[in-house]
Amino acid sequence: MPGRGYFFSFIAIFSLLMGGSFATSTVLITSNLISTKQIQQKSLIEQLAISNLNDDAKLLSKQLKSAIQFEFLTIKDTNNNILYRYIKDEKQLPHMTKVLKHFNLHPPVQRVKTNPGKLVIEFQPSYELILLPMSLITLIAFVAPITLCLFVYVLTGSIMDRRLEKVTKHLERLTEGANDEITPALKKHQIKPFENVISNITLLKEQPVPKTDPNVDTLTGLATGLKFVNDFNEALDKLDFNAPSTPTFIIIRALDLQEINLTQGYQQGDAYILDLAKHLKSYFASKGTELFKLNGLDFGAIVSIPGDLQNTTEEISQVLNSQMENAHTSYRVKIVPIKIEATTQLEQLFSQADRAASE
């Protein structure tokens, strides 16, 4: 579904931006923490340097390494002769150190002179106690929004699939015969129940796209139940629930179709449906609304009815009876109006309409 693809793209971009923002914030916080730590440790080194009155490089190095862990420590004399040097292997450094240095967020090497000024100490403390947990926190800060957003996407997709499955089941129920009395006869003659002419949504996912338009009924030329499902939310947004007229879903079920198919053949059944569709389309066109061929037995439309719903039911019946008399034919239909609320769900609407049309 194209809509789901756009939604996934939005979720992916949004989650990456959120993860990147959180991870960047964590890196900046880490940089501030180690800068503060370096200031504290520089103060300690200055005190140790002052207490080294003899300028003994060996003794001073032992005092410094026992008090502080270093990544880098060099002790020189005033002539730049190196008296002591320690450099930690880069492979032992936390990964966060490399990240901070790459973005120039790592504190630079510091320099301290002993009190007499004969020794120069250049140092870079080790920040493993800060960087190791902060590396994990940075990773979590980056991954957590992505994981959460993907979870929301999967959960939303699952909910949409369940609701779509419910709608499909209701549509399939609508295609079952309104009269259960003829079922034994169908079995006796080994005739399969009338097949749903709405493109089954589940099957559409598994089968190649048909050459015919799934939104148009091939027999009557009316919009199909699939198009009704796709357009329902848009139609709901256009309804005025504060107007005096009542937004209503009308279902018209052809009660005689299965019997005609059984006794007279499917060709006669098609002619019967085509004739009924012509009369209904003419009526609803006069009301300025679209008629849908929901499935094999049912037609449907959404209209705004001023006044009693029962009056509209009687009006449609009178129109059909009048046209039937002129055509010297007869239709036995069940007309059910269902009031639509702003919060009406599609599966709820189908379920209510099916129960009412089956009574």
pLDDT score at 135: 84
The tokens of 178 are what? 């309104």
pTM: 0.44
* Number of CB atoms found within 10 A of residue 39's CB: 11
What pLDDT was estimated at residue 171? 65
Give CA–CA dist 229/303, Å, rounded: 16
Residue 127, CA distances (Å) to 73, 124, 193 in order: 14, 9, 76
Neighbours of 205 (CB within 10 A): 9
> What is the reported pLDDT for 216?
92
Q: What is the pLDDT along the chain (359 residues), one digit of tens a residue?
A: 455 677 778 888 888 888 888 888 888 898 888 888 888 888 888 887 777 666 778 888 888 888 888 888 998 888 888 888 888 887 878 878 888 888 888 888 888 887 666 788 888 888 888 888 888 888 888 888 888 888 888 888 788 777 777 776 666 665 554 444 444 444 444 444 444 434 444 554 555 555 678 889 999 999 999 999 988 888 888 888 887 788 889 999 988 888 888 888 889 889 889 988 988 898 888 888 899 999 888 999 998 887 777 787 888 888 887 776 665 566 788 888 988 888 888 888 888 888 888 87
Q: In the chain, helix, strand, coil percent, each to 5? A: 60, 15, 25
Q: What CA–CA distances, in Å, run from 210 to 94, 128, 181, 226?
A: 59, 64, 34, 14
pLDDT of 56: 77
pLDDT for the residue numbered 293:
93
Judge contact between 299 and 291, C-beta under 8 A: yes
pLDDT at 343 (0 to 100): 86
Compute the distance between CA of residue 323 and CA of residue 276 in angstroms, rounded to an integer.
10
- At 174 the pLDDT is 59
